[in-house]
Amino acid sequence: MAKIIDGKKVSSDVKNKVAQQVLKLKEMYNKVPGLAVVIVGNDPASRVYVNNKKRACDMVGFYSEEYALPEETTQEELMSLIEKLNNKENINGVLVQLPLPKHLNESAVIEAIKPQKDVDAFHASNVGKIMIGEYSFLPCTPAGVMELIKSENIEVEGKNCVVIGRSNIVGKPMAMLLLHNNGTVTICHSKTKNLKEICKSADILVAAVGKPKFVKSDMVKEGAVVIDVGMNRDENGKLCGDVDFKEVEPISSYITPVPGGVGPMTVAMLMKNTLTAFKIQNHI
């Protein structure tokens, strides 16, 4: 039976630490970190994420602004808003909720955000810094995964780590962070041959493939640490991850649930990144 890693508890610890620092900053400088969140269109999942971010800002004591733009917003209008937020002194972090409507150029939007305000760490400059290990911000989901691993004192050094998924948002940076912690890392994807065998060699398995219950017990080594980044709906419309929890939990040593595992960590790490951005911009 695996130990279930409680993302709600760990994320709450992270947010409490941020909140304590915000109180000190307010006392010392009479300023608090500011986060602007931009949402375009009415994607229901995006709306849920934006609401969660707003609640987290309130909880840690940040100043926050939300810009809810209509579906038909043009590229020029969006770029002009980003420019305005880049130059706003009381805004330290700018986040544009992805995915954007099809007619908008996502990569141009990401590149338009000032690297020091890019609290999602998606800008090419921040991605490059992660590659060489000299970063200020880490993408929130992979950073959250590392925080969960650390919370259970799980040793990464020398371990076989397998990441399923190669997205720019999770898979690739996840692999880099495990590598920076001296793990031996394999990235698997849709074209990987012998996927099952490779996954079965993992001491730490991170599933970020976006397919409900994709990872079955025959893909997991006895005693492995299993981190489920997936957020899907099963055939009954219930939230589930990329890992078949019922099958995999009995054979793993640690496992994250969905919901309540990696999900809450993403928002907590966004708060941490915004605090870091505030400190950098204010030379603290």
Q: Which residues are catalytic?
A: 53, 97, 120
The answer to whether the beta carbons of residues 202 and 160 sit under 8 Å apart is: yes
Tokens 């996954």 -> residue: 199
Backbone angles phi, psi at 262, to 5 degrees: -70, -35
Residue pair 26/20 in contact (Cβ under 8 Å)? The answer is: no
- Show the DSSP H helices in the chain as ranges: 7-29, 44-60, 75-86, 106-112, 124-132, 140-151, 171-180, 195-200, 245-248, 262-281
Alpha carbon distance 176, 208 (integer Å): 14
Q: How far apart are CA 244 and CA 228, in angstroms?
A: 9
φ, ψ for residue 249 (rounded to 5)? -55, -40
What's 243's DSSP letter? B
Q: Roughly what angle, to the nearest 10 degrees, separates helices 171-180 and 140-151?
A: 40
